[in-house]
Amino acid sequence: MKTLLVQSWLGRTQHPVAPLGLLSVASSMPGSVEIVDLNVSNDPLRMLTEKLDSLKPDVVGISLRNADTTNAFDPYSYLPAFLKQVSIVAQRAPRAEILAGGAGYSLFHRELEAVARVISAGTVGHYENSIAMPSWDLIDLEPYLPFQRNLSIGVEVSRGCDLKCSYCVYPSLSGAHKQDKPPEDVRTEVLMLRARGVRHLFLCAPVLNHRPGRAEEVALAMAGTGMTWEAYHSPLGFSQTYADLARESGCTTVSFSPDGGSDSDMLALGKDFTTRDMETAVENAARAGLKVCIGLFPYLPWSSPMSMIRAFIKGRKWGAIAGTGLARLRFGAVRRLPGSSFGPGRPALHGAVPSGEFVLPGKPWVALFRFFRAAFEKQLG
Ligand code: B12
Ligand code: SF4
């Protein structure tokens, strides 16, 4: 049996991200498997047709990693391009079984299956039963190397989350059961990537320090590999000792998502830490010489204009604590998605994601949101 796994073209030029999901799928697929990432081609649709014509696969698996950007200020939908690719596959390989998967597909699989009936149902969520060692040998890493600092190459170190932050879809995508890749497997994978020319990695995990001691064991696995790295972290338990260890092990940047800008917003969102924890974590990171990224949603359905402004100010304060270490301060708007309490969320099958799919204030306060966002991101971003 011949399987072709396709990382779907995003429909516009964005730097490519190595297809970690498909590499993991490939590791547990029977028969011969080939992977193409259409995002590394100057002519993606032609690449797709040529590959289908030459390989004549029995199975075509298409990965839709993102349905849209989740960004209210760049509400681009990846779905029109995805649907076009599905129809090309159906035309050029009429006898092949068509599977689809990936986070974007899993979120909106019902709507996508309704408009693209050629897709075989039942491929939602993770393909394998447990966290996999990806088949890295199936792709050429050269196209991704120039974009490593844009996080184009990632190693999955943990999967699943047992918290229930109300807007978040990670537990619905990966489950509440937490799985950790053993540190020795992380090291083996990292050393293999290093030997293939990779120098900087994103360590994929909902948050790296999801239990006491976990981030430390990953940092020790990274130490001495010659690889620099970054990862999402919770501020909870982000001590000075850990920040120093992370820095020594090659960590350059840590990302925090307090999401709320006040203790009451964070509590309402289901966060298990406070604004004080955020301050301490940012201080510790900056003192260790780590760069810091911070993302929050200043406006939530229960916000007033004043509480929204206070959240912007809090975000700016955290940014100021990071000082010259601030790499990014992002003020976003929650994208309503299925599986979160802000849902149901609808896919944008044609055109851009409508503004009603984001949690933003109505007129005239949305203008104030835009003003603060532009002013504060610009000053500190
Ligand atoms: C880590 C991460 C990133 C990292 C990636 C680093 C790297 N080099 O790998 C960075 C920060 C770069 C990133 C960027 C973006 N991300 Co991101 N990312 C994630 C995250 C947290 C994990 C993804 C991951 O690698 N998982 C590990 C792999 C092994 O799992 P997987 O990809 O899901 O694949 C498995 C299954 O989906 C399935 N599968 C996948 N493909 C297929 C195909 C078939 C045929 C089958 C059967 C099964 C199958 O099996 C795989 C193995 O188990 C997810 C959230 C999540 N929990 O999924 C968001 C997530 C996918 N990202 C998201 C978004 C929006 C983005 C951006 C568009 C953000 C932006 N505005 O720029 C960009 C897009 C980048 C790009 N070009 O694709 C959204 C998508 C939501 C949506 N509405 O579509 C998610 C869900 C987060 C969220 N906000 O909710 N991301
Ligand atoms: S925001 Fe982070 S900690 Fe909260 S549920 Fe999502 S992945 Fe878990």
Give 315-338 pLDDT, tens digit per residue: 999 999 999 999 999 999 999 999
* Choice among 168-172, 200-204, 248-252, 297-301 with the minimum mean pLDDT: 168-172
Tell me the mean pLDDT in the region 207-230.
98
Give the Cα separation of 269 and 301 in Å (integer). 11
* Residue-by-residue DSSP string for 264-302: HHHHHHT-SS-HHHHHHHHHHHHHTT-EEEEEE-S--TT
The answer to whether the CB of 98 falls within 8 A of the CB of 90 is yes
Which atom of ligand 2 is the closest one to the Cα of 270? 4
- Could you say which ligand is closest to the alpha carbon of residue 162? 2
Pocket of ligand 1 (CB under 6 A): 14, 17-18, 20-22, 24-25, 61-63, 65-71, 99-104, 107, 123, 126-128, 151-154, 156, 169-170, 173-174, 202, 204, 337
pTM over 0.85: yes
**Mean pLDDT computed over every residue of the chain:** 96
What are the sequence ranges of the domains in the chain? Answer: 2-120, 153-380
Tell me the mean pLDDT in the region 137-162.
97
- pLDDT tens, 56-94? 999 999 999 999 999 999 999 999 999 999 999 999 999
Angle at 377 between CA 312 and CA 206, to 5 degrees: 80
Q: How far is CA 60 from CA 49, 51, 201, in A?
A: 12, 11, 29
Best residue among 5, 20, 120, 135 to mutate for probing ligand 1's pocket (most ligand atoms within 8 Å of CB) is 20
Residue 228: phi, psi to the nearest 5?
Answer: -95, 160
- pLDDT tens, 26-64? 999 989 999 999 999 999 999 999 999 999 999 999 999
Pick the CATH number of 2-120 from 1.10.8, 3.40.1350, 3.30.70, 3.40.50: 3.40.50
pLDDT in the model for residue 343: 82
The answer to whether the CB of 199 falls within 8 A of the CB of 227 is yes
Using the predicted structure, report yes or no on whether residue 378 has a pLDDT greater than 80.
no
pLDDT in the model for residue 381: 46
- pLDDT tens, 222-266? 999 999 999 999 999 999 999 999 999 999 999 999 999 999 999
- pLDDT tens, 10-35? 999 999 999 999 999 999 998 999 99
3-class state of residue 228 by DSSP: strand
Nearest by Cα to 207 from 274, 148, 254: 254
Which percentage of the chain shows pLDDT scores above 70?
A: 99
Pairing state between β 179-180 and 158-159: antiparallel
If you measure from the C-alpha of residue 166 to the centroid of ligand 2, how many angstroms do you get, rounded to a whole number?
9
Which atom of ligand 2 is the closest one to the Cα of 164? 5
Nearest by Cα to 29 from 90, 101, 118: 101
Give the Cα separation of 252 and 12 in Å (integer). 29
3-class state of residue 355 by DSSP: helix
State both tokens at 133.
Answer: 């060692």
Q: Say which amino acid occupies 197.
A: G
If you measure from the C-alpha of residue 362 to the centroid of ligand 1, how many angstroms do you get, rounded to a whole number?
30
Does CATH place domain 153-380 in 3.40.50.2020? no
235 lines ligand 2 (CB under 6 A): no
